[in-house]
Structure 1
Amino acid sequence: MRSQNETILGALFDRARSSADRPALTVGQDTLSWPRLAESIARFASSTRATGVAPGQRIGILSGNSVEAIVAYLGSIAAGCIAVPLPASLLRRDLAVLIEDCAPAMLVANASGEAALEGLCGAPVLSTQSEAASTNSFEAFLTAGDPGTLPLTMDPESGFNIIYSSGTTGRPKGIVHDHGMRNRQAARRVFDIGPDSVMLLSTPVYSNTTLMPLLAGLSHGAHVVVMPKFDVERYLEVAENLKATHTMLVPVQYQRILASPGFDDRDLSSFKVKQSTSAPMPIAVKQDILKRWPGRFVEVYGLTEGGVTLMLDAKRFPDKLQTVGRPAPDNDIRVINDNGELLPTGQIGEVVGRSPFMMRGYWNRPEATAALEWRAPDGETYFRSGDLGSFDEEGFLTLQGRKKDMIISGGFNIYPGDLESILLQHPDVEEAAVVGAASDRWGETPFGFVVPRTGSRIHADALREWANERLGRMQKIAGIALRKELPRSSIGKILKQELARDPALRQVQ
């Protein structure tokens, strides 16, 4: 076991004893100092134990981006329970699947979360918006707890949290991170985060995109600022006023921020490091960030499951913007073929990896965990990414898209990433996604969906001809449909499964 001060919670409680007047967490208009945050976590853990919820049981959190959601998340962990942050935007039928899967012993919810949960679960629900006198009030639950109760030292192999995958290709999988993995992850000093840092976050707190930098920020004493909901102008206002030093955003957020008419008038000189993750970023957007936004920009490619993480420090390697960088420290990344054999530099295959930051497994899904694993010749276990890519001679990885999205046309493998990169070179194209359309002649044939740049007068047929002049004979795009926007998940991933059902594909012969 690790000693308490080597853990996320241990570091947080140590900070509370030495940083009485400094803010630790801000969400919207609510700010907690370090002592107040530690006290709230201790009270939640104490009350949780008093209700009889046992270590190892799950506590579901359906309360949006709020102070209460983060206190409940950390308080659940301090009680020895497994925190399960749940997406607030889920349809009721999809939420029912997750509730049945994790079987929470208790839930924390805001008003909309309470309404969604009604009749789905017999476990008690703490309301973050009920009056303090109410029997299910989150506020009353905290008040009843013992503020002097410190979190226990946890077994590194015990569950820390469960984060559900997006579920766009079937039943969502619960990704179990244990205490050892989370503590090792948060302890890293990769991005120079410290007590003088201000970490600005605006993605959902049920996503690892938010939780990983939130935990790292609190572990190293930063002031973590979480927006209740992303808004471009509000983000810029907060970043300027609080002198944000660090942020984690997804590519579509960067695009919207940079497109703001007032962006160049903002003082963003306080930024040290900006990160992007969750989806590939167009090269033009990376170039725009380097040109107009002070500080380092680091693109992070990885899995919520862990094991595969690569980083591109764009300012250091401006000639490698077409890649997602090199393996992060302590990550061993390989490329394999369909037979599970290692491929040499330059050849395209599935990206696999291992590191000290790998999940415990999928909750109640041993078969899915086994399917994720690849055994190297030396017996070591690697995680499959499901992504196709290749390394260049300098160790930089270029992605070619999801393995399941590869288009097989007339027996020829077509990588959507190659076609998308060509489309994105057109000056009137803002975003592009390529999927396979059914073809009587070829089996499948490429079809593109494009979001034009604002003010452009692009025509789909002319764009298709332009792209096909730059593509190989077997890569030709059969058709292009123009769209105002592409379907995305809550953290910005393009949902190609939805595009594959678009009526425009029926027109392809």
Structure 2
Amino acid sequence: MNSSKEKTLLSLDYAEITIPDIFSSHGKFRKHQEAVVCGSVRRTWGDFNDNMNRVANALLASGVARGDRVVVMMGNSVEILEVMFGIVKAGCCVVPLSGLLTGQQLASLIKDCGAKQAFATADFIERLRPFQNELVHLNANHRYVVHGQAEGWLNYSELTNGQSTTTPSAVYRSEDAFNIIYSSGTTGLPKGIMQSHRARVHWAISNSIEMRFSDQSRALTTTSLYSNGTWLMMLPVLFSGGTCVVMPAFDPTEFSRLVAYEKITHTFMVPAQYIALLQTDTTQHDYSTLDVLLCAGSPLRRDTKRQVIERLGNKLIELYGFSEGFATMLKPNAPADKFDTVGTPVLGFEVRVLDESGAVLGPGEIGEIAGYGPGMMSAYHGKPSETSALIWQDERGRTFIRSGDIGSQDEDGYLKLVDRKKDMIISGGFNVFPSDLEEIIGQHPDVLDATVIGVPHERWGETPLALVILRPGAVFDASLMLPWCNERLAKHQRLSNIETREDFPRNALGKVLKRILREPYWINVKT
């Protein structure tokens, strides 16, 4: 009888591009090239990748599982990037939290995402101490302090020293959670925007192509690294194998110095930063290496845009979009008659304009903007009903995300904004939700009712103004009420002033008509 051995037939993997694997490749083939610069600290790709691997291997040794949430609470530094991407390399989901939040707000978000481990600097830790009992998921042995010491927190160097620099054994799938970014808004619980590896790869590739990044690019980040907007610069330049130069904090004069000294090719600023830069003497600095100036976060006033182009060159790209998932860009080579638009969809995205019934509108017709593409969020973390409420399906069954913004598309597909999300205030590039502020103001013993609107601000674009109706017999004193409110609000939420009203204009259902309240403040403002 003939005997034969059965041969196992192998099949090929469904190979995917992942950001951790791309960074490992750069660490091998670009090991001597600069990857990150912040202040006096300069990391080559070899060292940068080794340090990410040390973080990842330390986390894996501690017992993390695929998809575990790990919180990061740090200011701008080289280390925050090594920590964030080290977390991702371990197969975990990184949750960067804002430095503008109060201790109570930080504790609420740590609890909401179910983080089991955390990295933080001492300033964050001190804010959190009064709320330690609320950190129910956060393992007491898995809290790490970076840049200093903090009682009860393991030193970061003790965690990573002696860890292997070999590529971690984690497996990444396109549908796995890469990060959770919490939307601005703090008093109630802001929504956690969950983005997958697929979405972040699209973010990196599409922006690399649209803004012409390469391994020779040097991008300057001017905003906080926990912010999703900052990733418009940071992620594509690192994905491309270039160099990310990080400002610890923004200063317009230092910005100009760094552009020349570091030979910066790409940068991103919000309108308030462009306005601050224009207040300096730009003739004293060399901007010749700059190829791309990106503006996002809030609309750039037309007069400001013209000044930027006149003084820094025709290099400005305006981006409209939101973290949930799509974007458009207006580039310098756009026709002159598109100057007042926000451009066309970024590579891979589609945009539709919808009427109130959800029907698609034609060119020039005004309605709600909705977008679709591989950069969309997976969901709002733990909020299925809120996720579902955003979805509009097209004739092919594809799920578009409703923006809540109003606009129109012309015959060439260029998008024009008519209004922003109904009541949201965008101050210095940060989203401020009036309902969060109103909840705090309404707790003041003299306040019967309150509403918050955005009013013009020379530096920040707009700023929150509180309008209050007093309780009978109460005596109004703004010098006392204003600090009472602001000490209970995050930095980016703080009120510029408080004014009193006898009543508010309302619709038939009693809802305050904020548009009418805003009009007197904006009527003479040039746009």
For residue 456 of structure 2, what is the aligned residue in structure 1? 450
Question: What letter matches 1:195 in structure 2?
Answer: D
Matches within 5 A, 1:108-507: 108-118=119-129, 119=132, 120-121=134-135, 122-123=138-139, 124-130=142-148, 136-150=154-168, 152-167=170-185, 170-188=188-206, 189-260=209-280, 262-294=281-313, 296-306=315-325, 308-405=326-423, 449-451=455-457, 502-503=498-499
Equivalent-residue separation in structure 2 for 1:291 and 1:135 (angstroms): 51
Deviations 1:343-387 (A, max 9, x none): 222222110010121111111111111011112243221001111
Question: What letter matches 1:302 in structure 2?
Answer: G
Provide the secondary structure at the position in 1 that maps to 2:368: strand
Question: What letter matches 1:284 in structure 2?
Answer: D
Equivalent-residue separation in structure 1 for 2:501 and 2:29 (angstroms): 61
Deviations 1:22-70 (A, max 9, x none): 2101122211110100100111000001111212111100011122211
Report the CA distance between 1:300 and its aligned residue.
0.7
Runs of 4+ in 1 over 4 A off after TM superposition: 131-135, 490-493, 504-509
CA 95–452 in structure 1, closer or farther in 2 if over 3 Å, else same: closer
CA 325–127 in structure 1, closer or farther in 2 if over 3 Å, else same: same
Report the CA distance between 1:101 and its aligned residue.
0.4
Equivalent-residue separation in structure 1 for 2:42 and 2:150 (angstroms): 19
Report the CA distance between 1:169 and its aligned residue.
8.7
Provide the secondary structure at the position in 1 that maps to 2:147: coil
Q: Which runs of 5+ in 2 are unaligned?
A: 1-12, 427-431, 435-452, 460-485, 506-527
Provide the secondary structure at the position in 2 that maps to 1:405: coil
- Conserved 8 A contact 2:57-2:90: yes
For residue 63 of structure 1, what is the aligned residue in structure 2? 74
Q: Relative to structure 2, which stretch is displaced further, 294-303 or 172-181? A: 294-303
Equivalent-residue separation in structure 1 for 2:498 and 2:415 (angstroms): 31
Equivalent-residue separation in structure 1 for 2:491 and 2:403 (angstroms): 18
- Conserved 8 A contact 1:41-1:71: yes
Equivalent-residue separation in structure 2 for 1:291 and 1:209 (angstroms): 25
Matches within 5 A, 1:25-64: 25-64=36-75
Equivalent-residue separation in structure 1 for 2:490 and 2:271 (angstroms): 9
- Conserved 8 A contact 2:145-2:153: no
Provide the secondary structure at the position in 2 that maps to 1:186: helix
When the two chains are superposed, the root-mean-square deviation of aligned CA atoms in Å is 3.1
Provide the secondary structure at the position in 1 that maps to 2:154: coil
Report the identity percentage. Answer: 32
Report the CA distance between 1:342 and its aligned residue.
1.6
Deviations 1:207-240 (A, max 9, x none): 1111242121111011101111111111111111
- Conserved 8 A contact 2:69-2:115: yes
Equivalent-residue separation in structure 1 for 2:499 and 2:415 (angstroms): 34
Equivalent-residue separation in structure 2 for 1:156 and 1:115 (angstroms): 37
Report the CA distance between 1:250 and its aligned residue.
0.9
Equivalent-residue separation in structure 2 for 1:230 and 1:61 (angstroms): 21
Provide the secondary structure at the position in 1 that maps to 2:180: strand
Q: Is 1:102–2:113 an aligned residue pair?
A: yes
Equivalent-residue separation in structure 1 for 2:14 and 2:490 (angstroms): 33
Q: Which runs of 5+ in 1 are unaligned?
A: 407-415, 418-432, 436-446, 454-486
Q: Could you state the TM-score of these two structures normalised by the residue count of structure 1? A: 0.79
Question: What letter matches 2:261 in structure 1?
Answer: N
Equivalent-residue separation in structure 1 for 2:491 and 2:236 (angstroms): 22
Q: How many residues align?
A: 433
Deviations 1:252-310 (A, max 9, x none): 111111221x212210010111111111110111111211113521101111111x211
